[in-house]
Structure 1
């Protein structure tokens, strides 16, 4: 009877009727495909998210995602650097396999297989708005607008798909959210599932706050990390870096203590950034910083006093930038809820890596140590998924690509090196989940001068090999020494652990086809 009624209302016969039925079936199948909203920040660390139990600041909107969904407590990157991390995410492959190993010598090969391209083949509309930082222009996106290189916090430029560079007024974090919501509301085909990458400049150096938050946290004194005055004993690679808050943080560029009679290597760059403010906004900016500048040069702190002064300014500015970011995550969540999209959308929040908030006396990232290898990862799940709360399994940013493809019902190519997180999102606890992670950092010599290194991390231990102009090994027991202060390599009693970890390291290098060991052996022969 339903078929007769259908035929009466829609007088189609033969192949036309079959085509109509097929079309309806396809629409129903398409409706089952989940949307993906992937929010990624730059240099945001779990230490500065209250949902990770760290209450240096409060992040209520990020907490909304974690409280309603899942929070990965062992989430890591494969290469703690912005461009390489993004390439790992896009391809599902380690740096040596996707070709983008560092920010100084590489250009991302946009012709290669990427997750956005595979999503397009699965019927998705794809968009990228914000930071790209891979030198070449984006591919695999139906729509994109990106900031040149690192982008500017104030009145930034955007490059559009016509290759025009357009300056837009206002604070960058607000603008990226505005543009992302506008694409979801007004520009996409609402008959198709979508995947949008909302990629923020925040919270990247040099932490320029939204003007309305200039005074925020000024009454807060942040506690020094226990190892703020690390002496790097037994760790020559750690001693050789140039990311120390006291020695390497620029007093003008990073701490904003600009005065006409003062010069630093990064003064000109800083002035170009704040010079983008309108005259009216610049008055507001200067009115806030001028008393701090006057007080700083009057007191002229030195040594530990200067180190701790710099640390407080760094923490306050970083926290202010996080506040604007958290506001804008809330705006995206509110939009999705208002439009009835949350039940059918995976919302992912992560960063391109972690960051040092004074641990070891540092800012920046790069090292395989926990603060930079670990990255936040929280997800709001579609209503069909059962997982809730903490997910303790070790995951890595090469897993995002296969996860999104799996969610879309698209095949996962065999050459993708990550694994889908979908079983974990469904509340399953796979017995054969990975037991170790591989890491490889390449960018040396370069800014911050962190030595090249690779290593393996298990649930309890971490083994690192620093190479190139150095040949040093480090071993840490993360259970007994979570801040990685005591190098156990070569210590009596750790021979078997070291042997097992080296075997696991070779196993991973073989699995991921990283030829570094063969290259080092060849160099030794030569």
Structure 2
């Protein structure tokens, strides 16, 4: 009987996704966009109508998590389907080994044309894509440089999110219409230092954002949390992050679309560093810099007249952070709408799967922080919304099953009707899209491992397990400690119950599950730490 059910599932799967016409797939991947910054996830103060539009026509995951909450490693997990210790990209600003097989190569071998446009941020240049046009290093918000597969570096005039959208539409116009496509749209927004488009300056200035209840967290019982350097009050800078008394230069004067001379070979890496070090504001044209000088000049004058100190200064910084962050996200949402409109106008919506996700979560003042890195919820969880036209029953659905970014590649292959290769460690979650009633999808829990230390924010390396109810973490280097949280009773993760005798049995069970995952995923570094007595 079991074999018959398996055969029936496989037959249905082949009919839905592989037998007739492989679906197109667009994966929109933003940067540092928090799930709690999206109205579809419950934010009532701001509006993200186009991300919401995608959610209403598709499925929203409430428990989409990442395996390493930092930008580059998250992207590496996406295109390899592997954890950081296997794909070799553990920390930011490394160089991804391109000798390994990536998702786009496998799709290309199975009839797809593949492309990546926008932010790449993996050190090496893209491999396995038929077409790519990516920004050096982090990229710039205004008049960004792009490098294409011909090793040409071009400067595009305009605001980065709009430039990426235009390049995306240009690619879609020129692609082979007789072949399915897999396209990653890599957005720069909402990465630090949160520079809004000109039309969005001041978009949320009328709102006073409520201070998170954990903003003045004392980190009692959580040593690693107390040692970080990512607080809005202390680590966020007035001049660089919040643009107060910032001189907005005019060293670059561009109009229309301009191109720099082509560069090749080793010069590419050197140019990436050089262009990034020029700074954001030196790239602005006169119109852009004038708008920024006017808007932030007025804010600077008002700030100087306040003479703020102590908690009043911290709370002022929080308000400015929120206003700039959400204003930057406004263009992101608007341009997602542009892409969705393009699909509608060109008859592509009926056979194009669209995904929206961020590379990880982000702190919007919770625990007094910005940035990410920790296994804690606001950092661990990422927005993940998917619209699959052939699964019309999944419109406007919200699912609570845990999925990880190592699962993204296997799922995409599943949509394309391609078998997952043995090296991928994630698993396809197409079955729960087809049957959302599946329970205990990740009963063993999801695995997490963060490595970068000291880095810019002094977050201690740690690994752990996240289940439907609990988080267990082992910190090492910088801080040596175990932490345990009951998400049902303590959703804000304020009470470390690792020494609570009432949770002894749960702690021991979670440790067994964590060790099993470490062994299953062959994380030798974690196993060595796990086996130490602490």
TM-score calculated relative to the size of structure 1: 0.90
Deviation at 1:364, TM superposition (A): 0.2
Structure 2 CA distance, aligned partners of 1:231 and 1:378? 34
Q: Does 1:446 align with 2:435?
A: no
| 1:62-141 pair list within 5 angstroms | 62-104=51-93, 106-141=94-129
Structure 2 CA distance, aligned partners of 1:147 and 1:30? 37
Deviation at 1:382, TM superposition (A): 1.7
Structure 1 CA distance, aligned partners of 2:89 and 2:283? 31
Contact (CA 8 Å) 2:131, 2:149: kept in 1 or not?
A: yes
Structure 2 CA distance, aligned partners of 1:521 and 1:74? 26
Q: 1:511 aligns to what?
A: 520
Contact (CA 8 Å) 2:119, 2:134: kept in 1 or not?
A: yes
Question: Taking structure 1 as reference, are residues 30 and 432 closer, same or farther at Cα in structure 2, changes over 3 Å only?
Answer: same
3-state SS in 1 of match to 2:401: coil
Q: 1:231 aligns to what?
A: 218
RMSD: 1.8
Q: Does 1:496 align with 2:514?
A: no
Q: 2:402 aligns to what?
A: 394
Q: 1:56 aligns to what?
A: 45
Could you report, residue by residue, the CA deviation over 1:379-432 in whole angstroms, capped at 9, with x for unpaired residues? Answer: 111235532301111100011100111111111112211111211222353356
Question: Taking structure 1 as reference, are residues 192 and 386 closer, same or farther at Cα in structure 2, changes over 3 Å only?
Answer: same
Deviation at 1:300, TM superposition (A): 2.0
Deviation at 1:276, TM superposition (A): 1.2
Question: Taking structure 1 as reference, are residues 29 and 309 closer, same or farther at Cα in structure 2, changes over 3 Å only?
Answer: closer
Q: 2:442 aligns to what?
A: 434
Q: Does 1:252 align with 2:259?
A: no
The one of 198, 201, 206 aligned to 1:211: 198
Structure 1 CA distance, aligned partners of 2:101 and 2:277? 38
| 1:308-319 pair list within 5 angstroms | 308-319=315-326
Structure 2 CA distance, aligned partners of 1:114 and 1:120? 10
3-state SS in 2 of match to 1:439: strand
| 1:6-405 pair list within 5 angstroms | 32-104=21-93, 106-185=94-173, 187-258=174-245, 272-384=279-391, 386-388=393-395, 389-405=397-413
Structure 1 CA distance, aligned partners of 2:77 and 2:278? 34
Q: 1:421 aligns to what?
A: 429
Contact (CA 8 Å) 1:30, 1:192: kept in 2 or not?
A: no
Which moves more between the two structures, 141-150 or 292-301? 292-301
Structure 2 CA distance, aligned partners of 1:281 and 1:109? 38
Aligned residues: 488
Q: Which of structures 1 and 2 has the bigger CA Rg?
A: 1
Deviation at 1:519, TM superposition (A): 3.0
Contact (CA 8 Å) 1:119, 1:405: kept in 2 or not?
A: yes
Structure 1 CA distance, aligned partners of 2:516 and 2:447? 10
Structure 2 CA distance, aligned partners of 1:415 and 1:155? 39
Which moves more between the two structures, 304-313 or 211-220? 211-220
Structure 1 CA distance, aligned partners of 2:225 and 2:442? 29
3-state SS in 2 of match to 1:360: helix
Deviation at 1:275, TM superposition (A): 2.0
Question: Taking structure 1 as reference, are residues 33 and 259 closer, same or farther at Cα in structure 2, changes over 3 Å only?
Answer: closer
Flag structure 1 segments of 5+ consecutive residues without an equivalent: 1-27, 261-268
Q: 1:18 aligns to what?
A: none
Structure 1 CA distance, aligned partners of 2:389 and 2:442? 25
3-state SS in 1 of match to 2:355: strand
Could you report, residue by residue, the CA deviation over 1:457-511 in whole angstroms, capped at 9, with x for unpaired residues? Answer: 1111111110023210111000010010011011221111110110010011111
Contact (CA 8 Å) 2:515, 2:530: kept in 1 or not?
A: no
Could you report, residue by residue, the CA deviation over 1:145-187 in whole angstroms, capped at 9, with x for unpaired residues? Answer: 00011110011111111212111100000000110011011x2
Structure 1 outlier segments of 4+, above 4 Å? 28-31, 521-524
Contact (CA 8 Å) 1:253, 1:270: kept in 2 or not?
A: no
